[in-house]
A and B are shown apart, each in its own frame.
Chain A
Amino acid sequence: MALLEINNLGIQFGGLRAVDDFKLTIEKGELYGLIGPNGAGKTTVFNLLTGEYKPNEGVIKLDGQDITGKRPIDINRAGIARTFQNIRLFKKLTVLDNVKVGLHNQYHYSTAVSILRLPKYYQVEKAMNERAMELLKVFGLDTDADKILASNLPYGQQRKLEIARALATNPKLLLLDEPAAGMNPNETQELMDTIKYIQKHFDMTILLIEHDMKLVSGICEKLTVLNFGRILTQGDTKTVLANPEVIKAYLGDD
């Protein structure tokens, strides 16, 4: 059974069909790319997947479970985590605390325990710190993680921190919205390695939106191309990128 199955997904904003008849099947462990020109509806698909928008039609199934139209927090709990095109970190929290917010639903103690500082508080906090530092180490963000505020990180590291925070929620499917946006070629190369590493190390299924063709062709195993809210083509990366329709959609006629 596929990890993610989307069928006939559609949403309409007023008279505009932003996404129409969208289909997607992702197997467990795949690294899947969603590409298309600006305004094609890629981020809208992400917002539909994560519950930010409610679809007008269609079904989204994660691991066989119907998650169509559920609230973002329920979808996260069901196993989808995401990053954002325009970075959304908790700016005034430390790097460590950002990841610990991601761990929120896996480590529990009550409000009373925190106010009274019962032993359980120290136990759970210790476990959370260890887990968070483990994740941060993967991204090389563990130095002074408890002192640096998220807003003070350089841009590239902020993107990585966002991925670390998403992974902290222990997802089955990770959605990356333009992870390489604003990065220079070196940073992009490093990011590609990191994404590959996440796929292997965490046995993670990843769906990403990207404009950087070097990244897409370098790491994505399969692609779906969107244009004007509809699927242009989907399949193996090589086949898709060789498709003249795709080139036309990106570069225009003639």
Chain B
Amino acid sequence: MKQKFSMMDATSRDDFKTYGGLILVFILVSILSVAGMLNSQMKGLLVPLCVYAIMAISLNLVVGILGELSIGHAGFMCVGAFASAFFSKVTVGSMPDLLRFIIAIIIGGIVAGIFGFLIGIPVLRLRGDYLAIVTLAFGEIIKNIINVLYVGRDANGFHFSITSANDLGMDLTTGEIIINGPQGITGTPKDSTFAIAFIVLMIALIVVLNLIHSRDGRAIMSVRDNAIAAESVGINITKYKLIAFTISAVIAGFAGALYAHNLATLIATPARFGYNMSIMFLVFVVLGGIGSTRGSIIAAVVLTLIPEVLRFMANYRMLIYSIVLIVIMLINWSPSVKGWLDKHVYSNIPFLSKIRAKEGN
């Protein structure tokens, strides 16, 4: 009976290493920032870094833990971003900023979660790659819908239109346009700070890791490993797929809320919420080692930093970026490179070899 307790300790100890490592990085970066050792470009990157790390955690839950493919995760981020920015625009000034921002983040999560749930109900009943197709479509459609959405508020209440701002029939002297079609939302309060973004990141991480090491998490992973066997031992496949996917969407909504409150103007452009973004998140997850939450976060941070750090060699940075991608891919997936590293690198560094042994297989 002693073994099983050591097991529980081992997994939680591993989780706490991840938490501890992240907190250490946070403290270090905060000190550097206060000491003025970060340039403005790096400072500006801190919130997006957290946002991307949260997206990596979120997508890893679907791709790595549930074993379904979502290639429209930026869509959930987009929904969360607009829902929270809309709330902030409407309520700004009516309550303390911090409280309003916290509620905005929660609203971003809930709205994205509702979308995740609604998409999941029909699609997750099916077996196969349907989720990939539907999320891909969702990511593209949601962007287009927001681009033709006009919402304004005046003394008479809210006005909606999907044709133009003029059709809102608003009294512009008493009200303002909140969502202005392709111009999006302007003037969202810039509430996102590195500290808050980091706290949300930690919450997302704790939620996902605790979920993975629980009864529900085991059920979710059993569906990934063998759906037929999972059913045969009484696991409700659709239910657990829905739980995982909805939680993932909620977390993506949090990320969207942080993202929205870091921008002066929120527009649903392809560059921000398009297909390429979704694929970038997928790259984080795949290169981080599918299923490894810690790896996803590291990949998100490294792959976001590289193009920025290399900005001074503008012409070559995408070249170097692509080389880094290939190298990481080789390290992660090629058995011969893995074997070589184990033999010549990790075995010589006790700390690393311990981690390798744990992650092993």
Residues of A in contact with B (beta carbons under 8 Å apart): 50, 52, 71-73, 76-77, 81-82, 84, 88-93, 96-97, 100-102, 104-105, 107-109, 111, 114-117, 121, 124-126, 128-130, 133, 142, 144-147, 149, 151-152, 165-166, 168-169
Quick check: A90 and B234 within 8 Å, CB to CB? no
Residues of B within 8 A of A151 (CB): 361
A62 → chain B closest CB, angstroms: 14
Quick check: A76 and B233 within 8 Å, CB to CB? yes
B229 contacts which of A84, A92, A108, A111 (Cβ < 8 Å)? A84
The answer, yes or no, to whether B171 is at the interface (CB within 8 Å) is no
A128 to B219, CA, bound (A): 14
Given A89-B225, A90-B222, A133-B1: A104 and B232 interface contact (C-beta under 8 Å): no
Residues of A within 8 A of B1 (CB): 130, 133
Q: Which residue of B lies closest to A93 (CB)?
A: B221
Quick check: B232 and A82 within 8 Å, CB to CB? yes
A115 to B203, CA, bound (A): 10
Residues of B within 8 A of A128 (CB): 215
Quick check: B8 and A101 within 8 Å, CB to CB? no
Residues of B within 8 A of A129 (CB): 4, 7-8
What would be 20 A-B contacts, judged by CB atoms less than 8 Å apart? A52-B228, A82-B232, A90-B221, A90-B229, A92-B221, A97-B221, A101-B222, A104-B219, A104-B235, A107-B215, A111-B216, A115-B211, A124-B215, A125-B8, A125-B215, A126-B4, A130-B4, A133-B3, A144-B3, A165-B233
Q: Which residue of B lies closest to A90 (CB)?
A: B225
Residues of A within 8 A of B8 (CB): 125, 129
Residues of A within 8 A of B236 (CB): 73
Which of chain B's residues 172-222 have a Cβ closer than 8 Å to chain A?
206-207, 210-211, 214-219, 221-222
Given A73-B236, A114-B217, A169-B234: A89 and B4 interface contact (C-beta under 8 Å): no
A91 to B206, CA, bound (A): 25
Given A104-B218, A133-B4, A149-B361: A92 and B232 interface contact (C-beta under 8 Å): no
Given A100-B218, A101-B235, A133-B1: A117 and B210 interface contact (C-beta under 8 Å): yes
Residues of A within 8 A of B216 (CB): 111, 114
A102 to B361, CA, bound (A): 23
Quick check: A147 and B235 within 8 Å, CB to CB? no
Quick check: A92 and B225 within 8 Å, CB to CB? yes
The answer, yes or no, to whether B328 is at the interface (CB within 8 Å) is no
Interface string of B243-278 (1 = CB under 8 A from A): 100000000000000000000000000000000000
Residues of A within 8 A of B211 (CB): 111, 114-115
The answer, yes or no, to whether B231 is at the interface (CB within 8 Å) is yes
A173 → chain B closest CB, angstroms: 13
Residues of A within 8 A of B210 (CB): 114-117
Residues of A within 8 A of B229 (CB): 84, 88-90, 165
A124 to B213, CA, bound (A): 13
Residues of B within 8 A of A91 (CB): 225-226
B45 → chain A closest CB, angstroms: 30
Q: Which residue of A lies closest to B291 (CB)?
A: A92
Quick check: A115 and B222 within 8 Å, CB to CB? no
Quick check: B4 and A50 within 8 Å, CB to CB? no
Residues of A within 8 A of B10 (CB): 146
Quick check: A89 and B231 within 8 Å, CB to CB? no
A131 → chain B closest CB, angstroms: 11
Quick check: A105 and B234 within 8 Å, CB to CB? yes
Quick check: B230 and A101 within 8 Å, CB to CB? yes
B334 → chain A closest CB, angstroms: 20
A107 to B216, CA, bound (A): 11
Q: Which residue of A lies closest to B210 (CB)?
A: A115
Residues of B within 8 A of A116 (CB): 210
Quick check: A89 and B226 within 8 Å, CB to CB? yes
Q: Which residue of A lies closest to B237 (CB)?
A: A73
Residues of B within 8 A of A121 (CB): 214
Quick check: A76 and B232 within 8 Å, CB to CB? yes
Residues of A within 8 A of B214 (CB): 109, 111, 114-115, 121, 125
Quick check: A96 and B7 within 8 Å, CB to CB? yes
Residues of A within 8 A of B243 (CB): 111
Q: Which residue of B lies closest to A77 (CB)?
A: B234
A115 to B61, CA, bound (A): 14
A160 → chain B closest CB, angstroms: 15
Given contacts A76-B233, A151-B361, 18 further A-B contacts (CB under 8 A): A71-B231, A73-B234, A84-B229, A84-B232, A88-B229, A89-B225, A89-B226, A91-B226, A92-B221, A92-B224, A100-B218, A101-B219, A101-B233, A108-B215, A114-B211, A115-B210, A130-B1, A165-B229
Given A101-B222, A101-B235, A104-B235: A88 and B228 interface contact (C-beta under 8 Å): yes
B129 → chain A closest CB, angstroms: 20
Q: Which residue of B lies closest to A84 (CB)?
A: B229
A84 to B232, CA, bound (A): 10
A114 to B218, CA, bound (A): 11
A133 to B4, CA, bound (A): 8
Quick check: A72 and B231 within 8 Å, CB to CB? yes
